Amino acid sequence: MKMSFRAKRLERQNQRLAQAGKLNLVALMDIFTILVFFLMVNQSEVKVLQSNKDISLPRSLSEQLPTEKVMLTITSNGVLVQGKPVWQGDWQQDSSSWLPQLSQALSTELNYLASRAGPLSEAQQPAGRSLTILGDAATPYVLLRQLMAICAQTEYRDLSLAVEVMAPAVVEAP
């Protein structure tokens, strides 16, 4: 018996739909290759400092990227150097009770790190060693100043304060 055009068309369509779907991997691999190169190029532009969840960094417009330095972290109840607790206490007490202990403990740790890093060259002598201070936005300035003075006594005079970068405000022309 002869098949009608409609029957032939339906048979062809059924044969075509019965075949397994094909997956074109070439386009998918091209996309992933481009993605890998994009991520490799843009990965080096962002620097993230190790931060403590308890610390809320002050916000500022900063144009300099952080570099690898010794990290001094000021928490609500102590001081950490490179993540190692150096001193723990209460900042609310009179500074004459905790300042000598803090000064001695911090000086000891910074001198130890300086001895492990080796002597400074003649060109580095005036600026000193680099140190980054991570402190909560609510850290009293008096405490910050005292810690900076202790650091300056132990060859760490190139001090940086870690901040959270704010997006610059867009100025509209009149």
Average pLDDT for the chain: 81
* Nearest C-alpha neighbor of 85 from the set 100, 73, 101, 99: 73
The model's pLDDT over 105-143, given as tens digits with 9 standing for 90+, comes to: 999 999 999 888 888 888 888 888 889 888 887 888 888
Separation of alpha carbons 155 and 52, rounded Å: 26
Name the band, by pLDDT with cuts 50, 70 and 90, for residue 52.
low
Q: Kindly report the pTM of this predicted structure.
A: 0.62
Q: Which residues lie below 8 Å from residue 102, measured CB to CB, with a gap of 6+?
A: 79, 87, 89, 146, 147, 150
Tokens of 150: 């202790």
Q: How far is CA 155 from CA 31, 39, 91, 124, in A?
A: 51, 38, 25, 10
The model's pLDDT over 77-115, given as tens digits with 9 standing for 90+, comes to: 888 898 888 988 877 777 777 888 888 999 999 999 988
